[in-house]
């Protein structure tokens, strides 16, 4: 899952996109988690509802990073990969204020 997410950095943001050429936030997480054998819906809210919140201090690579209407993948060391918007596309960046970390399973 982590390797897949890293390999998508630089791809463009596409509303409703699940790859391979572009993604929206939940499309990226859906596709990455599928690589690990986990099926997720294509909705940031529905993905967040399947997970339980954990503190940032307990975050592990592969956890979901959840915000209002947004989702990404925690990569460790306070960093995440997400498909932010049309300007950024899929990027590797620091967690920002307003995000929580959630764990599936």
For the chain, which domains are there? 2-104 (3.90.1720.10)
pLDDT at 103: 97
Q: Is 25 a catalytic residue?
A: yes
Q: Measured between alpha carbons, how far is 23 from 28 in angstroms, rounded to an integer?
A: 6
pLDDT at 38: 95
Q: Is 42 a catalytic residue?
A: no
Confidence of residue 25 (pLDDT cuts 50, 70, 90): very high
Q: Measured between alpha carbons, how far is 74 from 59 in angstroms, rounded to an integer?
A: 8
Q: Is 70 a catalytic residue?
A: yes
Determine which one of 25, 42, 63, 86 is catalytic: 25
pLDDT tens readout for residues 62-98: 999 999 999 999 999 999 999 999 999 999 999 999 9
Residues 6+ away with beta carbon under 8 Å from 18? 27, 30, 31, 42
Q: Measured between alpha carbons, how far is 51 from 45 in angstroms, rounded to an integer?
A: 10
- Residues 84, 91: contact at Cβ < 8 Å? yes
Determine which one of 24, 42, 63, 82 is catalytic: 82
Confidence of residue 46 (pLDDT cuts 50, 70, 90): very high
Over range 10-24, report the average pLDDT: 97
Q: Which residue, 15, 14, 18, is CA-closest to 29? A: 18
């Amino acid at each position: 899952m982590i390797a897949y997410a890293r390999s998508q950095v630089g791809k463009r943001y596409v509303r409703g996109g699940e790859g391979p050429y572009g993604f929206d936030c939940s499309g990226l997480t859906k596709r990455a988690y599928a690589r690990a054998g986990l099926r997720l819906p294509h909705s940031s809210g529905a993905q967040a509802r399947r997970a339980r919140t954990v503190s940032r201090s307990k975050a592990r690579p592969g956890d979901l990073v959840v915000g209002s209407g947004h989702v990404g993948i925690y990569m460790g060391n306070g960093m995440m990969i997400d498909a932010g918007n049309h300007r950024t596309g899929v990027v590797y960046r620091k967690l920002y204020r307003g995000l929580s970390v959630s764990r599936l399973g």
